[in-house]
Structure 1
Amino acid sequence: MDVSTSFARLLSFILLLVILSVNADDVCVKRSACSCVFPNGTGIDLSPSAKNSVYTSVNTYESKQNGTQLDMSVYFYHPCYDVTLAADVVKPEANNTCKSYLSICRHKFTLINTNNKTTDTFVRNGEAYDFLGSANLSEFAPNGSYIKYANLPSYSYVYLVCAETDDEFYIKDLTEPNEIKLQFFSRNACLRQIDSNRSVGSTLLIIFFCFVIFYLVLGIGTKKFLMGATGVEVIPNLMFWTELPLLVKDGWAFLISGFRLPSRGPGPTTASDPNSYDSI
Structure 2
Amino acid sequence: MTTILLSMVILTWFAEIDSQKCVYRDPCICRFDHSAGSINFGVEGGVIDLHRISDDGNPLFLDPRDSGEQIYEYSPCRAYPCPTVKDSSLCLTTKNTKQVLDLGDLKDMTFNTTANKTTEKLHTSMNYKAIGSNITSIVHLICGETNEFRFEKMTSGYNYEFTLYSPCVCVDGCLAPGISAGSIIIILFFCSLLLYFGIGCLYKKVVSGATGQEIVPNDKFWFSLPGLVKDGYIFFISPCLGDRAEYRVYDRL
Q: Normalised by the size of structure 2, how large is the TM-score?
A: 0.49
Q: Which has the higher contact order (CA 8 A, sep 6+)?
A: 1
